[in-house]
Homo-oligomer: A and B are copies of this chain.
Amino acid sequence: MAEVRWNKKDLLGLEYLSKEEIELILETADSFKEVTTREIKKVPALRGKTVVNLFYEPSTRTRVSFELAAKRLSADVINIATETSSVRKGETLIDTGRNIEALKADIIVVRHNCSGAPVMLAKHVSISVVNAGDGWHEHPTQALLDMFTLKERLGRIAGINVTIVGDIAHSRVARSNIWGLTKLGANVTVCAPPMLIPAGIEQMNVQVTTDIEEALGNADAVNVLRMQFERDVQSAFPQQIEYFKKYGITEERLKRAKKDLIIMHPGPINRGIEIASEVADCSQSVILDQVTNGIAVRMAVLFLVSQARDENQI
C-alpha cells in the first residue's frame, strides 16, 4: 500500500472512494486497534483539535463511538443534538456548518435525515466533514467497520460471498456495504421481501433474491439489517412475526448454511424480529467485534481526514 496516500478532507461515502483508499482506511484502523488494547488507550494524534458531533437524528451508538474515537485521539469533542426544522433545512445546515467552521473546529461528524446533506455541507465549509449516516444514502463508517471485521475474520474481502438481509430499500448501511464490498471484489447478494427491494438495485452489481434459503446457501457472511417496524417498514410489511418466519436468521436456517457463516448486524439488534436470540449470541456472531472495530475505524477516519486537511492548508 506504500503508494497510496489519503488526500481527501472529507469522508462522505464509499461511493466516492477508490479501492485503494478504502484499503488504506482499513490498514490505518488496524494500527489504531492496537491502541484500544493498551492500558492507557490514548494517543496524542489529534491533541488540540476539535471534533463536533452534529446529529440531526438521535443515535446514541454512533455518537458514542465517534466521541470515544475522538477522545482516544486526544481531541476535544463537542456534541450538538438538534431537531431538523421542517423548512429551510439545507440553508440552516450550511449556516450551522459555517458557524462551526468559524469556531475553528476541525472536523464535523454529521448525521442527517436527508440523503446528501453531508455532501452539500462539505462543499460549503473548508473543514473536514465525516458522514455518520445520511437518510437512505450512506453510512460509510458502518460499512468500513463491517469490512474491517470481515477481513479480520477471513483474511480478505476479495472473492468472499456476503449476503445482506433486510430492508434494503431504506438502508444506508446496505448501500455503503454494497459500494465498499463490490469495490474490494466481494460478491454481494441482497435479500428482502419484494416491497423492500429498491428498483434498479441490481445495477449496483449485486445479486437479488427474495428467498432467504437461496441467499444464505453460498454465503461466507450474512449482514442482518435492523428492521424498523416502528418507522419505515410498516406499510410494506406490517407483521413482525411474519417477517421473522420468512426472513429471520434462526438456528434452523444456520444449519443449512455454511458451517462457519459469519453473522453480522449493525445494531441495535431486535431479538426475535430479524435475528433469533441464540443466533445473535452464538460463536459465529461477530456483532460485538463490529462494535469494538468501530472505534478503530473511526479513529482512522478522523485521523486521515484531519491529516489531509492540514496538508492541503500548507
Contact = CB atoms under 8 A, between A and B. Distances in A.
Interface of A: 36-42, 47-50, 52, 60-61, 64-65, 67-68, 71-72, 76, 78, 80, 82, 88, 91-92, 95-96, 98-99, 101-105, 267-269, 271, 288-289, 291-292, 294-295, 310
A64 B103 contact: yes
A101 B82 CA distance: 28
Nearest to A91: B271
Given A50-B68, A76-B68, A269-B95, A104 B60 contact: no
9 contacts: A36-B104, A41-B48, A41-B49, A42-B47, A50-B68, A68-B78, A68-B105, A101-B288, A102-B291
A60 B48 contact: no
Nearest to A58: B82
Contact of A64 (B38, B40, B80): B80
A40 B50 contact: no
B65 A76 contact: no
Given A39-B310, A40-B47, A48-B40, A104 B295 contact: yes
A74 to B, nearest CB: 10
A134 to B, nearest CB: 20
Given A92-B268, A99-B267, 13 more contacts: A37-B104, A38-B48, A41-B49, A42-B47, A42-B76, A50-B71, A52-B64, A64-B78, A68-B76, A88-B271, A95-B268, A96-B268, A103-B295
Contacts of A52: 64
A276 to B, nearest CB: 13
- Considering the complex of A and B, which 8 residue pairs feature the smallest CB-CB distances, nearest first? A40-B48, A102-B291, A102-B288, A71-B76, A42-B48, A102-B292, A36-B104, A41-B48
Nearest to A269: B95
Given A71-B76, A80-B60, A103 B65 contact: yes
Contacts of A36: 104
